[in-house]
Amino acid sequence: MAYNTRIKSKKKTDRPRNKVADVIVNRIIKNIEKDRKLPWQRPFLEVCYNWLTEKDYTGINRIMLAGEYIGFNQLMDFNKKYNTTYTIPSGCGEIVLLYVPKQVSEEDEKIILGGGMPQHLLFKKLFQKDDGHYYFRVPIYKYVFNIKHIADENGNVLPTKFTKKLIDFVPNEKADKIISNYCERTGVRIFENNGGRVYYSDSDDSIHSVPKDKYRASEAYYRVMFHELGHSTGIESRLNRKSYAIYSKDKKTHSREEMTAELTSLLLATECGFSDDYWVDNSDYYIEGWVSYLKDKPNAIIRAMADAEKAIEYILNGG
């Protein structure tokens, strides 16, 4: 399809900053300031899914939710169907980010069918449904409720559905396999030195680390290595991540790429079953720096999580 970038839609393009992103980031900032812990600095050993549909939450929801959740309308429908009396106490709602399809306008669709593309849709991922019309997904947020707060008139709580084991392997062996398989497949090399620096170099596609016995714990080594693996996925010959191209020119400032690497490390740590005890030293200066960054760029963490999930897929499965 030929995209005509010169065609302008009559719709306004100077819209205010995404309200959904503001809501999500404000929620994350509130949790950071309350707990004095960055949300990506904990592995997700908890289940995180919708109780009724039994579908996992993905994306940014994975650092905002921990448990089994249900929506208000879903619970009301459940009560009606099974003649139960479960209720939700006030003040226990948590935010979930969802993407819903929105049909393009009739005017825009005519432009698309004519081989053009309205400017305000240039960066939208369009798709067609069975009805033949074009759609794109827009983010919305809703409140969901942890089932541990939900009970009926007799005090019986909504029963958990989660019974399977979360982790059933030796963490260090799993981590070594992830690293070795990735390096063997991609050609990334790992060097140990005594220079006190840990970094990924795209000039020779290598990770440089201090010796393993210099780390305070084996888990610390693996988390740092996972962080650098995350960076290595961003180069042009792999995922060609725009945030990495920007980050490689200036590593001194907080950036979406640095957040992507942190989230990649977190998710790989989860894959290995690492505990939450590692993250104990969070200086106020470091935390406030990230809070300031998130306030200034509310969309960054949502996009970074999406980038991290692509990096995880690439590291574990090659794409």
Strand 189-192 to 127-128 pairing: unpaired
Cα–Cα dist 61/232, whole Å:
25
- The pLDDT of residue 15 is 45
CB count in 10 Å sphere of residue 241: 21
Q: Is the pLDDT of residue 13 over 50?
A: no
Instruction: Please answer whether residues 95 and 27 qualify as being in contact, where contact means their C-beta atoms are separated by less than 8 angstroms.
Output: yes
- The pLDDT of residue 36 is 75
Share of the chain above pLDDT 70, in %: 83
- The pLDDT of residue 277 is 55
Instruction: Please answer whether residues 293 and 232 qualify as being in contact, where contact means their C-beta atoms are separated by less than 8 angstroms.
Output: no
Q: Is the pLDDT of residue 5 over 50?
A: no
Instruction: Please answer whether residues 25 and 95 qualify as being in contact, where contact means their C-beta atoms are separated by less than 8 angstroms.
Output: no
Q: Is the pLDDT of residue 45 over 50?
A: no
- Least trusted range by pLDDT, from 39-43, 95-99, 100-104, 266-270: 39-43
Place of tokens 């982790």: 167
208-217: b (≥16 Cβ within 10 Å) or e: bbbeeeebee
- The pLDDT of residue 8 is 42
CB count in 10 Å sphere of residue 54: 10
**pLDDT, tens digit, 9 for 90 and up, residues 198-233:** 899 999 999 998 887 777 677 888 888 999 999 999
When pLDDT is averaged across residues 182-193 and rounded to a whole number, the result is 94
Q: Find the radius of gyration of the CA atoms of the chain.
A: 22
User: What does the DSSP 8-state code read for residue 158?
Assistant: P
Instruction: Please answer whether residues 278 and 216 qualify as being in contact, where contact means their C-beta atoms are separated by less than 8 angstroms.
Output: no
- The pLDDT of residue 84 is 95
**pLDDT, tens digit, 9 for 90 and up, residues 50-88:** 999 989 888 888 878 888 999 999 999 999 999 999 999
Average confidence score pLDDT of the chain: 83
Q: Is the pLDDT of residue 282 over 60?
A: no
